[in-house]
Every structure is written in C-alpha cells, then in structure tokens.
C-alpha cells in the first residue's frame, strides 16, 4: 500500500505541473518513468521490460488508476472534462429557465 500511496503522490505532482498529462495516460506514464525512474528515450526495450517485470516500474494501469482517483476528487481535471462540465452547467441553466 505504501508504494501505491507514493505512486499517487508522484502522479498528483505530475498532474499539477503538466496539463497534457491530465488528458493522456500515455503522456503521464512517459513523464512518470522519465522523472522518477530515470528511464530515458535511449533505454533499451529489454531493460525497460525487465524493470517492469521486476516490479521496479509501476504498470501503465497503476499510473492510469492513480490519475483517475485524483481526478475523481475534482483535482487537476483534464481540459476535455472541464469543457464538458462547463457545457453541462450551461445546458442545465438553459433548460432550468
């Protein structure tokens, strides 16, 4: 559970700093492994796979789940979600009158 909590904190830090990561799990995961695990673009694929299988790199799903948990609390919503909420409010007020 400690690892998950740490992962959530790291993901939240990334979401705070990077708006593109709020809408894309791929971007979020890439930033996470680059920033916290020192995985660089020239890292060989077999090294990365070995790191993942050894449990040294959180899976894509773990990072994605952490983002969803944070955004469910209303923090660091992606631009598409914010636009949708704004539209929902507009239409709700339009039809309420």
Per cent of the chain over pLDDT 70 is 80
* 3 state SS of 25: helix
Of 2-16, 34-48, 76-90, give the lowest mean pLDDT range: 76-90
Q: Alpha carbon 35 to chain centroid distance? A: 13
Measured between alpha carbons, how far is residue 64 from residues 3, 7, 28, 32, 48 in Å? 15, 11, 8, 11, 18
Angle between helices 25-37 and 60-72 (to 10 degrees): 110
């Amino acid at each position: 559970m400690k690892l998950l909590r740490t992962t959530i904190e790291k993901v939240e830090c990334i979401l705070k700093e990077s708006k593109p990561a709020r809408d894309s799990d791929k971007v979020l995961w890439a930033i996470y492994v680059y920033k916290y695990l020192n995985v660089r673009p020239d890292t060989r694929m077999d090294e990365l796979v070995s790191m993942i299988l050894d449990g040294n790199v959180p899976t894509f799903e773990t990072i994605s789940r952490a983002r969803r948990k944070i955004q469910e609390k209303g923090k660091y919503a992606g631009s598409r979600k914010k636009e949708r909420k704004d539209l929902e409010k507009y239409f709700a007020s339009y039809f309420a009158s």
